[in-house]
Amino acid sequence: MDKDLKNRINTGLWRFSILGLLAVIWELIAYYKIIDTFYFSRPSAIFMDFFNLFSSGLVFPHIWITIQATMAGLFLGSIFGIVIAFVMGRFEIASKIFDPIIVALYGIPKLALGPLFILWFGLGIKSKIFLAFIWVFFIMYFNAYGGFKNVEQRVVNSAILMGATPFQILSKVVFPSSVPWILTGLKAGIGVALLGAIVGEYIGSAAGLGHLVQYAGNMFDTKRVFSTILVMTIIMTILNAGVNALEKRVLRWRPQLQQ
């Protein structure tokens, strides 16, 4: 068996074993009434409700709406973040003028802007996309900007000496050198995009996983809150696995660390 595959299997077994042990402990302390199941529920009830969500088909429209807002916010935030980071890294005067403004805007609590976005864009999907976009934009901007600013000048100088045109320097040196930074921003951006979409749905929406959690909380349905959180966790795991696969494919030229 391939050593890398064996390590992944062992890691997965350890992960599921730890999670399974925690679930058993939780179930036992709930069974013996050490904790109040009204507030904490119990794994058996949560998994049963999780199964009912999918078997009844109730959760699918909510997942679809949340995924749409997440992916749209991730795409727009990534594009705008990379483009503006490139401009800032390329033109020093633009960086001096606008970088402090962007940093100041980043300090504004995004959650506080949620009601404003709903007021501007309504209760539909647009306000959720914009909230996800705002969070992703800053994450991607700071990562991409760091990548563009940290391109090794000696590599650029070598390309110039070999007669490379400005476009070739950008396409063959600057952007490839910045890809690891951009992918790091993308990995973080997926999480905040999903968070932004869900927070927007929680604040005001008639559908989506955030709405499902908010409605269950209002009805004091603890098991539904936990089962919906489990759905969110699975979605995040799948999206993160997709980015990891993309990273492995794009950065296949990078040497792997020897174990």
The pLDDT score that the predictor gives to residue 13 is: 84
* Ranges of each domain in the chain: 1-35, 42-250
The pLDDT score that the predictor gives to residue 167 is: 75
pTM of the model: 0.83
Position 129 pLDDT exceeds 80: yes
| Residue 204 DSSP code | S
Instruction: Report in angstroms the alpha-carbon separations of 7 from 1, 110, 208, 259.
Output: 10, 39, 37, 10
Average pLDDT over residues 65-77: 93
Lowest mean pLDDT among 99-103, 111-115, 118-122, 182-186: 111-115
Residue 218, φ and ψ in degrees, nearest 5: -65, -30
Rounded to an integer, what distance in angstroms lies between the CA atom of residue 201 and that of residue 204?
5
**Model confidence pLDDT, tens digit, residues 144-200:** 988 888 777 777 778 787 777 777 777 778 888 888 888 888 888 998 899 888 888
- Select the more confidently predicted residue: 134 or 1: 134
- Select the more confidently predicted residue: 52 or 126: 52
Average pLDDT over residues 14-33: 89
Dihedral (C-alpha) 4, 7, 8, 11: value to the nearest 10 degrees?
Answer: -160
The pLDDT score that the predictor gives to residue 256 is: 56
How crowded is the C-beta side of 145, counted as CA atoms within 13 Å?
Answer: 20
Rounded to an integer, what distance in angstroms lies between the CA atom of residue 127 and that of residue 202?
12
CATH assignment of 42-250? 1.10.3720.10
The pLDDT score that the predictor gives to residue 1 is: 55
- Max distance between CA atoms of the chain, in angstroms, equals 76
Rounded to an integer, what distance in angstroms lies between the CA atom of residue 149 and that of residue 91?
11
Rg (CA), the chain: 23
The pLDDT score that the predictor gives to residue 255 is: 55
